C-alpha cells in the first residue's frame, strides 16, 4: 500500500478530532467560565523509504486559558476572577478549579456554585455564610463581609503554566500539578457582581469549521484517488 494513502488517512483522523473540539467549543460558547479546547498538530516523519513522508498527527488536546469577556450582572453572589487566577471548588472527583463565579447560598449558609460544588477558601476549607445575614460584600481580595463582619474569604489559586488540565464538567478543570493559593493581589483579584463568560470566539470557530470540513473533503478525495490508482495498476499489471 502506498504511503499516500496513509498520509490521507492520518489527515482525516486529525480533521475528525479537530471537528469534535470545534463542535464542543461552539456548543459551550455561552457557558460561563468555559475554556475552549484546542488541538496541537505535529508531523511524523516516515523514513522507511528513500524520501521522507510527512504524516499529520492529531496530538494531545489542551485547554486554552485566555480570559473570557466579563459581564456585569449586579448579583452580589456573582464574582469574576481578575488576572491569572482560578476559584477552587470541591467536586466528587476531588478539588477542581473554575472561572465560573455564579454562586448560590444554601439554606444552611454553604456557598456553592451553580453546579452545587462547595466553594473553597485559600486553605481549602468550604465557605459558610450566615443565611440570615443578608447579601454579602466581597472585596477584591475575596474577603466576604456580612453585617460589618468578615465571615470568610474566597480562595484564588494560580495553576502552573506547564500543568496539563483535565476537563471535569463544562467549566471546571483538574490540573496534574498542584495549584498555589494567591498571596499577592496586586495583579489578580475578585470582582463582585460580574461573571466571566466563555473564551470561545464564535466567528473564529465557525471559520475553523469551514476550513476543517474542506480539508476533510480533500483528504477523502485523496483516499479515493489512491484507491482508483491502485485498482488501475492491478488491472494493468495483473494476469490476463
The answer to whether 198 and 31 have CB atoms below 8 angstroms apart is yes
The pLDDT, as a whole number, for residue 236 is 72
pLDDT along the chain (240 residues), means of 10: 59 73 87 86 49 52 87 96 96 95 94 95 94 91 93 96 89 94 93 95 83 72 65 65
Residues paired with 45 in a beta bridge: 54
Beta strands in 114-221 (DSSP E): 137-138, 143-146, 149-153, 156-158, 165-167, 172-175, 180-181, 189-192, 194-196
pTM given for the model:
0.76
Beta strands in the chain (DSSP E): 37-46, 53-63, 70-72, 79-82, 86-91, 94-98, 103-105, 111-113, 137-138, 143-146, 149-153, 156-158, 165-167, 172-175, 180-181, 189-192, 194-196
The pLDDT, as a whole number, for residue 23 is 84
The pLDDT, as a whole number, for residue 51 is 52
The pLDDT, as a whole number, for residue 95 is 96
With a CB cutoff of 8 Å and minimum separation 6, the contacts of 33 are: 68, 98, 99, 100, 101, 170, 171, 196, 197, 198
The pLDDT, as a whole number, for residue 2 is 55
With a CB cutoff of 8 Å and minimum separation 6, the contacts of 191 are: 70, 79, 80, 81, 82, 140
The pLDDT, as a whole number, for residue 213 is 74
Instruction: Tell me, letter by letter, the H, E, C secondary structure of 73-92.
Output: CCCCCEEEEECCCEEEEEEC
The pLDDT, as a whole number, for residue 223 is 64
Angle at 74 between CA 71 and CA 80, to 5 degrees: 50
Amino acid at each position: 500500500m502506498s504511503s499516500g494513502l496513509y498520509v490521507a488517512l492520518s489527515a482525516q483522523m486529525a480533521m475528525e478530532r479537530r471537528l469534535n473540539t470545534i463542535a464542543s467549543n461552539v456548543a459551550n460558547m455561552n457557558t460561563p467560565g468555559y475554556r475552549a479546547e484546542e488541538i496541537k498538530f505535529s508531523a511524523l516523519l516516515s523514513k522507511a523509504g528513500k524520501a521522507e513522508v510527512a504524516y499529520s498527527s492529531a496530538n494531545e488536546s489542551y485547554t486554552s486559558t485566555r480570559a473570557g469577556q466579563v459581564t456585569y450582572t449586579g448579583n452580589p453572589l456573582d464574582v469574576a476572577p481578575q488576572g491569572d487566577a482560578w476559584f477552587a471548588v470541591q467536586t466528587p472527583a476531588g478539588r477542581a478549579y473554575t472561572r465560573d463565579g455564579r454562586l448560590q447560598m444554601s439554606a444552611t449558609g454553604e456557598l456553592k456554585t451553580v453546579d452545587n460544588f462547595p466553594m473553597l477558601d485559600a486553605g481549602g476549607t468550604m465557605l459558610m455564610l450566615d443565611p440570615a445575614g443578608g447579601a454579602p460584600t466581597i472585596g477584591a481580595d475575596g474577603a466576604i463581609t456580612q453585617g460589618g463582619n468578615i465571615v470568610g474569604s474566597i480562595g484564588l489559586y494560580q495553576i502552573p503554566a506547564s500543568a496539563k488540565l483535565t476537563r471535569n464538567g463544562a467549566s471546571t478543570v483538574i490540573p496534574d500539578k498542584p495549584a498555589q493559593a494567591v498571596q499577592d493581589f496586586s495583579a489578580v483579584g475578585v470582582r463582585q457582581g460580574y461573571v466571566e463568560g466563555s473564551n470561545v470566539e464564535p466567528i473564529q470557530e465557525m471559520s475553523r469549521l469551514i476550513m476543517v470540513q474542506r480539508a476533510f473533503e480533500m483528504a477523502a478525495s485523496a483516499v479515493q484517488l489512491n484507491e482508483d490508482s491502485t485498482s488501475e495498476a492491478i488491472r494493468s499489471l495483473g494476469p490476463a
